[in-house]
Amino acid sequence: ARAQSMEITEKPEVTYADIGGIDEQVREVREAVEQPLTEPEIFNEVGIDPPSGVLLYGPPGTGKTMLAKAVANETDATFIKMAGSELVRKFIGEGSRLVRDLFEMARERQPAIIFIDEIDAIATRRTESKTSGDAEVQRTMMQLLSEMDGFEARGEIRIIAATNRYDMLDRAILRPGRFDRLIEVPEPDRDGREQILGIHTRNMNIAADVDFADLADDTDGYSGADIESLATEAGMFAIRNERDEVRHQDFAEALEKIEDDDSSDVVSSA
Ligand code: ATP
């Protein structure tokens, strides 16, 4: 059960160079998570504790998981991921036990980065959800907070959580000593999109006529994950047209297809 619900990577391959358009967030994560691991003495000298936990929040597919993996890569830490939804269990005590397992695993493999995705699943405001009234979910959350209290702030385990639903979070988890550093990870702006396009096409055979500035203009509202799909789709159009080089036209067709798919989604759900 332990292995099923946790994703453990000795050293993730993602690096900061793979992340586009959120330089400020990269800087903040490095300061709050990486530096306490690599230069704990600085915090000692200044006489402050580093943040206990860092919460990344923002829309889906913007690079939150990538950020956590890149820190693990940079610090040679084990990356241990668990989804909040996995911690919501049927049987009494099961969620708390998984939380204990999670921290035990981190202690065995330290230095380690614990990443809890969808933290909202176990930390939703009481008024906004049926499940948050659930005593078992509350207990799981309390177990998580007590594990966080239990480890040395300057130690070799750092904890990062992520959510798409910041507004629904139980404010109790944001108190000092808990997830006390908040980093918003927004959708990329125009320049960010151009940077991300560059990242996701760097291994592609791109024709000279591809105008990335133009594509950045045309992808307003796209997340990093959406841009990755766009690049793959453009490659598929090149293959369909029996070319080994991806042209601007392929990107234009890919954009059209994605827009069409989106609007049919709207129709079918209406
Ligand atoms: P979710 O909230 O859905 O878990 P997330 O914010 O954790 O999403 P990631 O899992 O980090 O998103 O991103 C998904 C994929 O989208 C990445 O593997 C990457 O290919 C691409 N991607 C997302 N954001 C960026 C970015 N800022 N730069 C480059 N690629 C990105």
The pTM score is 0.92
**ipTM for the predicted complex:** 0.97
Residue 176 clears pLDDT 90, i.e. is over it = no
The pLDDT tens digits for 43-53 are 999 999 888 89
Residue 262 confidence (pLDDT): 80
Kindly state if the Cβ of 229 falls inside 6 Å of ligand 1. no
Residue 250 confidence (pLDDT): 97
- Distance from residue 65's CA to the centre of ligand 1 (Å): 6
Residue 126 confidence (pLDDT): 66
Kindly state if the Cβ of 95 falls inside 6 Å of ligand 1. no
Residue 231 clears pLDDT 70, i.e. is over it = yes
Kindly state if the Cβ of 133 falls inside 6 Å of ligand 1. no
Q: Taking Cα atoms as reference points, which of 144, 171, 164, 184 lies closest to residue 52?
A: 144
Q: Where does the pLDDT of residue 153 fall: very low under 50, low under 70, confident under 90, or very high at 90 and above?
A: low
Residue 132 clears pLDDT 80, i.e. is over it = no
